[in-house]
Each structure stands twice: as structure tokens, then as C-alpha cells.
Structure 1
Amino acid sequence: MARERSGRTVAHLVLATRLKTLREAAGISRGEAATALGAHTATVRRIELAETSLDEGQVHTLLTAYGAGAAEIAEFLGQLATANLPGWWHPWRSVMDAWQLDLMSVESATRIIRVWEPALVPALLRTPSYARAVEDVRRPELPPADKDRRTELLIERQKRLRDQNTRIWAVMSAAALRTPVGGEAVMAEQWQALRAAVERPDVTLQIHPLEGPCHSMTGMPTVTLYRVDVPEIPDHVVREGDLPGSAEVLSSRHAVTAYHVLLDHTCVVAPHPDESKEALS
């Protein structure tokens, strides 16, 4: 899967999967469900894959055909109404990259986020000043107000991930510590923030030294692996592209497993997190 659809939230995917489970438990084929719906079989397939919006009327018809009781139908429709509410990131949608719109709902259900960052401080560990300075370099074409909003979004993501106890496991190159971003004051603040972050139980940071050996992620762009804590939703990988705002989003088992193995190998080769703490002292 190259990318998620921006309207396809985790909640929608869970409800769509539940519809499929109820149909199969009732012993009803997709063709029979389509007949009850007065639609083509492909419509039922798209509903069960959350490839189309979940319409309240269609969902009610399907649940009735599957033998669901009034209480179960009411509960399901209540969950659907909640799922249809705008995500917390809605106020920032105009300045978000397409892949960010697609992944925010997945991120909200993520248990562990693993990151490989080849040249800069990982985004989820950046200070506001450092993040804003990166926007100036990476997105010079954007108006200052848009850069400010994008920075606000990143800081809000960091806060929400802390609140939901998502673990951040980042591997970065020591080159980031020697690459000036935004001036001495910005770098000093960022160093201090990293020192504080590595003391938190939800953060693991490993720093590859410049003189370290070649490893499995050497030469790769920024890669983020989302380990999702919802059974119906697969883990996701984001491999950022060379152009600003571009990225490839993958969720196939083969792709996720491949990057998982690469990250594991890189973490084995990288210095222990305790040594990374010393590098920041």
C-alpha cells in the first residue's frame, strides 16, 4: 500500500473490520450483503476495507442483515459518529504534508515509534527553535506563518505522544550534533533538551559516531516505523523522500518486517544508549 487515505482513520478501519467479522460470523457472503444493501459486491468490499466512507444508513442496513440487535446497532452507530469527528490535528491540516494527514490517526494508536535520522536531530526530539530553523532550511518557499504552524504541530505531536505513553526509540548520526542549525543558542538549547530527553523512561536514543562502522541504514533517508497497538491496524513505515514533504508510506507485512530487521541491525551496531548519554554530556 503506497499510502493511506486521509479520511481513513484508525477508528474507521476498526469499525470496517468489525463489520466484516460480523458478516462472516453470520455466515453471509459479500454477495448476499450486497443484495441486502441494494449495491454491487464491490461496494461491500470497499466498505470492509474502509476504502469508502462508512455511511450510517448503509451500516445500519448491514448490521440488521447480520442479525445485530438494537443495542449493538446503537453502540456501533455511536462509535461511527465519534469516528467521524475531526481529528485533533484538523486545525493544522492546511500546512500538513499529504503523508502526515494520512498517518496522524495511526500515530495516535502507536505504542512504539522507531526512527532512523541520518543528519539532523529526530523530529520528535526537536525543540521549537530547532524545529523552526529546520523549516527555514527545508521549506524556504513557505510563508513564515506556515512554518510557525508546522512547528506548532510538531510540538503538539510530541506532547500527545508523551501523554499517550508512546515510546520513542531513535537512532541518529553524530553528524547532527556537529551540524549547526539556527545558531549557537538554538544548538545549545537543543543539546540541553536531548540531555533531558534521554533521562525519560519513554525515550531511547542511540548515536552512531562519525568514525563508527557502516551499518544497515547507512545512506538511507529518514525512516520511521510505527508499531501500532490496535490489532486491526498493521504497523506502518514512512520513508521520507529527497524532495521536501515527500514520503513513501508502507504497511505491507513484507515491507514493515524488512525495515524492522534493518533498524534492529543498526541498533545492535550503534553504541549503547548509556554511551549516547555520555556523548551529550
Structure 2
Amino acid sequence: MSRERSGSTVAHRVLANRLKTLREGAGLSRSQAADALGAHQATVRRIESATTSLDEGQVQTLLRAYGTAPAEIDEFLKDLATANLPGWWHPWRAVMEPWQQALMGVESAAGLIRIWEPAVVPTLLRTPAYARAVDDIRRSHLPRQDREARTELTRERQRRLRQAHTRIWALMSAAALLTPVGGPRVMAEQRRALAAAVRRGDVTLQIHPLDGPLHVLAGQPALMLYRVDVPEIPDHVVRDGGLPGTAEISNEAATVTSYHMLFDHACLVAPHPDTSMELLT
């Protein structure tokens, strides 16, 4: 699977696409844009694909070469300055997993997140106590303060997704409800939190029963599918890499479409979301 460049944010991609549109609208080739920039056309290609940082000076030179109006140039540069600000997740970078650093901008802009979790409660639906208990087992090698910071990051991710009205469609195994994590009180609180999330309306939860039929995601590692409602940003899939903190990322259309189809098939086999409340209460 392809790797996402960590510095590439949704805002940068949108601006890069605007640059490409302005160049094409001006009737200039990449070679001509490169001449105006005094660089190789590969530089323009990287700028327009957001695989390199957007330098203010280069951007301004290109916009002038494209005949962009001064007011539009000013607006573009203001948007660029905003895009260059550190993301809200910056204070937690030291405890973030590599894939999170690569895709937190995409997650923050997502309109829909689809999740398959085979064994435990999905991260974006965990209570702080449950999240802490999972890390105490899976990441016991980390200092306590780092594990606490990771719990804070999870809580902040959840808060911001709710604030952005991001829809979450989670598919999980009933095994997660029967596997003791953190003790009875933690599990009881987690069940209540799942039920509250479903009632809130922004979460669709389907739970595969232990005696249910075999489905296409059975035995597959956890995965997340991100959909951003911005034409310039493709869907992304994150597949658990097996070892703690590892994951495979792809935004290749064929790969992402295959995982969407697997998710659709598994959802068809799973009980209707309404029945999840029966298992949680």
C-alpha cells in the first residue's frame, strides 16, 4: 500500500489543486510555469500534487505568472498561512503513531469514517478508562505519562469529530463486549457510552454476534475508511499492521474501493443497527 506524506494536509491539497486549475485556466503548461519559477517542471508537478511544501514565495510567483488578480493572490496567501499553522494535534505528536501523524488532517476533515474492529471496541468509541486499559496491555512498554497523553489524544479526536458532525459507521464483533477490559466498572461504563453514542445519532453501530454467519471481514485486522467531502481528497483506508502502532495506508482508488465493498458485504450479513441496543443495555 502507498504511504501518505506526513506533511500533506487537506488544506494544502486544496490549495495545490487551485494552483493547477489557475495554471490550466491561464493556458500555461507545467514547463512554462517552471520557467516562470526558474525551476524544473518536476517542481511544479510536486507543488500541484502537494507532495512538497507550498513555499509562499514560489506560490506568489506562480500566481502572478498566471495573471491572478492581486485581491485573489492576497486571499490565496492568507489561506496558505492558515494551512501552514500547526494542526490541533501538534501537542500530542510525541505520542502519536506514524499513520496518525500522516492522516490526522484527513480524519479531522472527514465527513464519514467507517470502522471494522474484530476484537475490541473501536478507538473512536472508547471511553477514557477503556482506552487507558487497552494501552496498559498493548503499550505497557511506554511510560505512564505517554499512555495518559494517548488517552487525552483519543478523547480530543472524539470531541472534534462530534463538533464537526462527522458520521461514524462502526462494525465490531460481540467478542468486544465479552472480553473484560479494565474490569466490570470499565466495561459497564463502555457499554453505556456505546449506547449513548448510538442514541446521539451520529454513530451507526452494527455488532456481529458470536453465533452469526461467517462474513468477509472475519479474521481480518482492524481497518478504517475515511471519506472527505472535498473533491481534491480521495478516500483513504488504514489497515492495522499487526504490531502495536503499525498500519498500512492507501488512497489508491482500486484498493480503497475493494475495502469499501468488503465493508458493505460484512454490513449486509450483520444484524440491523437497531439490534445493537439490545446487546448494550
Gaps of 5+ in 1: none
Q: Counterparts of 2:51 and 2:31 in 1: how far apart (Å)?
A: 18
Q: Counterparts of 2:227 and 2:233 in 1: how far apart (Å)?
A: 10
Deviation at 1:37, TM superposition (A): 0.3
Gaps of 5+ in 2: none
TM-score between both structures, scaled by the size of structure 1: 0.99
Residues 1:30 and 2:30 are matched in the alignment: yes
| Residue 254 (structure 1) aligns with | 254
| Residue 130 (structure 1) aligns with | 130
Superposed, 1:1-281 pairs within 5 Å as 2-281=2-281
Q: Counterparts of 2:151 and 2:93 in 1: how far apart (Å)?
A: 13
TM-score between both structures, scaled by the size of structure 2: 0.99
Mean alpha-carbon deviation: is it higher for 2-11 or for 28-37?
2-11
Deviation at 1:227, TM superposition (A): 1.1
Percent identity for Structure 1 against Structure 2? 70
Deviations 1:135-173 (A, max 9, x none): 111111100000000010000000000000001110000
Off by >6 Å, runs of 4+ in structure 1:
none
Q: Counterparts of 2:44 and 2:228 in 1: how far apart (Å)?
A: 26
Aligned residue for 1:198, secondary structure, equals: helix
Aligned residue for 2:217, secondary structure, equals: coil
Q: Counterparts of 1:234 and 1:30 in 2: how far apart (Å)?
A: 23
Q: Does structure 1 retain, via aligned residues, the 8 Å contact 2:37–2:61?
A: yes
- Cα RMSD for the two superposed structures: 0.8
Q: Counterparts of 2:253 and 2:25 in 1: how far apart (Å)?
A: 26
> Which amino acid is the alignment partner of residue 257 of structure 2?
T
Deviation at 1:3, TM superposition (A): 2.0
> Which amino acid is the alignment partner of residue 161 of structure 2?
L
State the aligned residue count: 281
> Which amino acid is the alignment partner of residue 109 of structure 1?
A
Q: Counterparts of 1:279 and 1:30 in 2: how far apart (Å)?
A: 58
Aligned residue for 2:199, secondary structure, equals: coil
Deviations 1:196-218 (A, max 9, x none): 11111101100000011110101
